[in-house]
Chains A and B, each alone.
Chain A
Amino acid sequence: MTFKCTDAFTLNSWLTIGPASRISFASKAQPYRTTLLESQLAVWREADGGVSAEADGITVLVESHYGYLWVCPSGQPARPIFEFPEYGEAGRRIVDCDGIGVAVSHPRMIENFLDMGHFPYVHANYLGELPNTEVAPYEVKHDELSDELWADDCRFFQPKTSNSATQGLQVEYKYRVMQSASAMLYKTAFTRPEFMDAIGLFVQPHSEERITAYCLLAYIDDTSSENDLLSFQHTIFGQDKPILENQVPRRMPLYPGTEVPTRCDAMSTAYRRWLLDKNVSYGTVRSAAQV
């Protein structure tokens, strides 16, 4: 096994290695090079349009979906790539915000994305502001069929929910965890409040404590320039980065008693339990002795 990972769930999942645009000019002789689970990857486009990838010189399973490249490290995917119907929906703008490197584990990154409680502190004047700090109860569901986690009916007052927002808005959110390193959120579109914008967070774990977080928008927004949409997301991710890089430990503790959740952490608690149920060891700490 070339990948430095032992848990079957991570090895049998689809992990992104970046936007498909990375291989536009790549060839077998001059491939796109990146790292996944501490293994060196070379990726290129074949003459017939197909994608090929090698990890430390050994062929690995790679597919292209939603403008992104996905590798299944074991070559035996537990399930096909998740559904993302908004990607192909008429009237939506697809904007690839590309990635930002963060020195943290992928579960910490995903958890941050699922969390409304930090909006007024980490994203003050954008996604939240004092004194509107209260997080209303919301419902968490596990979809048995797709093995996905959903948080519905999330609501939060946001002073500037997106680039097109000109005033504060009570925003409705839905969160979704498709895989241990992929999540989506759906939130009220400012210019068309009867619709929900979709934001994908796809995390590439280079190692247990170093990732790239990619962000893909499927937006209902006729007013913002692509550059403005991108800049807004970069601002938000730039605000999260220093917090994420200052979490101790960088890997996510999954054993009880080390970190104390509260009611608004229902989605985070469900995600941690889901990781524990699947025996995910990569990027996690499973006992106090490991710290």
Chain B
Amino acid sequence: MNFLPHAWVPIHPSSRLAPANGIVAGFVDGHEIALWRDESGQAQAWENRCPHRGARLSLGRIIHNRLSCAYHGWEFEANSGRCVGIPAHPSQTPPRSACVKTYACMDKGGMIWVKRPDLQDAGEAEPPDTPKAEFFCRSLGLRIDVVATVEALESRGFQVCAPNAWAGRLASVPMIAMVSYAQEQLTFVHFWVQSNRQLIKAGAIFPALVAFRVSAESRMPAEISS
């Protein structure tokens, strides 16, 4: 098994998150993340919990370049995560303690990477270089742990090519699989293809991904019993 822990985890394809439009719920290393972009395009990875009453911020919306919580409309500014507006008290300056926990977050090689909370202060200033992959294909959320996921990939001939990345073929199509540990018994695999879009449109890849999911998740019982 070639899973080398790296501080940066690929959690979402960059092209699937538009500036100031929508919030995506993600996971990194057992933590829930609310992912969004400000108007300038800078990706924001925040703890998915409002500091006021604990509501998941991924239920909120982006208004005036701020994330507004769905429960009481508290508004938090990009980058700092600081609360800059409490609608119930429009003339009050929000307390400094009303601040969302933020994580280091970068776009690189077509993915949004989030730095693991336990390694925020570690080296690795940037996400690793990954092999050039042209087209994002699909993300699979697998109900198995990261070790079982990597074993499933490697049993199909995939070989590690970069931290968190494996190269191989599904349905004879060359692919890159980027793996992120989400939480216990939940792992995401982001598949990229190196050839052109026609192959995706032809439809051969999706049945292969479904078959991969079924075989990867069905490895579970055998491992538990052994």
A-B contact pairs, 18 of them (CB 8 A): A118-B71, A118-B72, A121-B72, A121-B73, A122-B71, A134-B87, A134-B88, A134-B89, A243-B55, A246-B55, A247-B53, A247-B55, A248-B49, A248-B55, A259-B54, A260-B52, A263-B89, A264-B88
B48 close to A (CB within 8 Å): yes
The answer on a CB contact under 8 Å between B52 and A243 is no
On whether A249 and B59 interact (CB within 8 A), knowing A117-B72, A243-B71, A263-B92, the answer reads no
Inside 8 A of A253's CB, which chain B residues have their CB?
A: 54
Q: Is there an interface contact between B88 and A135, defined as CB atoms closer than 8 Å? A: yes
Q: Is A133 an interface residue (CB 8 A)?
A: yes
Interface residues of A in 92-116 (CB under 8 A from B): 111, 115-116
> Would you call B51 an interface residue if the criterion is a C-beta within 8 Å of the partner chain's C-beta atoms?
yes
Are B88 and A248 interface neighbours, CB within 8 A?
no
In the assembled complex, the Cα of A117 lies from the Cα of B92 at a distance in Å of: 14
Interface string of B21-56 (1 = CB under 8 A from A): 000000000001000000000000000110111111
**CA A257 to CA B59, docked complex, whole Å:** 23
Q: Do A249 and B90 have beta carbons less than 8 Å apart?
A: no
Q: Which residues of B contact A (CB under 8 A)?
A: 32, 48-49, 51-56, 59, 69-73, 86-90, 92, 94-95, 97-98
Interface of B: prevailing SS: loop
Q: Which 4 A-B pairs have the closest CB atoms?
A: A133-B87, A117-B88, A135-B88, A246-B56
B54 / chain A contacts, CB cutoff of 8 Å: 247-249, 253, 259
Contacts of B49 in A (CB 8 A): 248
Q: Is the CB of B52 within 8 A of A133?
A: no
Nearest Cβ on chain A to B198's Cβ, whole angstroms: 41
| Interchain Cβ contacts within 8 Å, total number | 72
> Would A262 and B89 count as touching, CB distance under 8 A?
yes
The reply on A50 being an interface residue by CB < 8 A is no
Residue in contact with B71 in the complex, picked from A121, A135, A264, CB distance below 8 Å? A121
Which one of B56, B70, B92, B95 lies within 8 Å of A260 (CB-CB)?
A: B95
Contacts of B51 in A (CB 8 A): 259-260
Q: Which one, B56, B86, B90, B94, contacts A248 given CB within 8 A?
A: B56
- State how many angstroms separate the Cβ of A12 from the closest Cβ of chain B: 28
In the complex, A120→B74 CA distance in Å?
Answer: 12
Asked whether B89 lies within 8 Å of A120 as measured between CB atoms, the reply is no
Q: Please state if B87 and A120 are interface contacts (CB–CB under 8 Å).
A: yes
B90 to A, closest residue via Cβ: A134
Q: 17 extra interchain contacts, Cβ-Cβ under 8 A, other than A246-B55, A264-B88?
A: A121-B70, A121-B72, A133-B87, A133-B90, A135-B88, A243-B59, A246-B59, A247-B54, A247-B56, A248-B32, A248-B49, A248-B56, A259-B51, A260-B98, A262-B86, A262-B92, A263-B88
How many Å from the CB of B160 to the closest CB on chain A? 34
